[in-house]
Amino acid sequence: MFQYLKSRHDFEYEFPVYPGHGLELNFKNVTGEDWYEEAFEAYQELSAKVDKIYIAGFSMGGLFASHIAEHYKVDKLLLIAPAFEYTHLNKLSRLNLRPEGLGEHLKMKTMDVVKSRLPKLSIRAFNEFRMIMESKMPDYEKIKSETLIVHGKIDLLVPYLSSVEAEKKIENSRLELIDGAPHVMSYTEEHQHTLNILAERFLFK
């Protein structure tokens, strides 16, 4: 999405990469607060350069973006599958997933990607995620930014119903649900193209 927007528009930007993330995962010496601080420092650096601030956040980044927007000036807020909730084994019904949704995942081979990364995760990393998620969960009603939430309807990691609930509480917001889209929409060109168009129309209209 970033490459698409940058090829069509001229804008200042900050692109935080959370400690331990990237192509190779290594969470041994990082905490959830380290992840949030990386996002907040990017916000501070951007706010020193521009008058209008737009934040786009995916998954945990969407959670951090929402927390920042609750407390600081953000003109537009784009949330992509924001991690307002994670899938509990005892609450799988929250996914609201039909059998054909699992079939779509198999076609996209998303399970292969997840399995390749699972050995690099740990209970400690998951606990850091859970704790930072709880501490940075926003008060939706305090977010005044113009907000667009985009969520795939076959997301196995973050129930899209959490975005449905957030959209009802964020005053100036709307929600776009994408049929057949997983948590990471770049798994298919079709879903990535849809996200690119939605983002461009929202941020640059």
Q: Would you call 132 helix, strand, or coil by DSSP?
A: helix
Q: What is the pLDDT of residue 157?
A: 87
Residue 178 is classified by DSSP as E
Q: How far is Cα 138 from Cα 205, in angstroms, rounded to an integer?
A: 27
Q: Sketch the domain layout of the chain as residue ranges.
A: 2-204
**What pLDDT is recorded for position 100?**
59
User: According to CATH, what is the number of the domain 2-204?
Assistant: 3.40.50.1820
- H helices within the chain, ranges in order? 2-8, 32-47, 60-71, 99-108, 110-117, 123-136, 160-169, 189-204
| Predicted pLDDT at 187 | 79
Q: Which of 12, 10, 30, 8 is nearest to 21 (CA)?
A: 30
Q: CA torsion 163→183→132→88, rounded to 10°?
A: 80
What pTM was estimated for this model as a whole? 0.84
Rounded Cα distance, 121 and 89, in Å: 18
**What pLDDT tens digit does each residue of the chain (205 aa) get?**
999 999 999 999 999 988 777 666 677 888 999 999 999 999 999 999 999 999 999 999 999 999 999 999 999 999 999 999 976 545 556 666 666 555 665 666 555 555 555 555 567 778 888 999 999 999 999 999 999 999 999 898 899 999 999 999 999 999 999 998 999 888 789 999 999 999 999 999 8
Residue type, 26: N
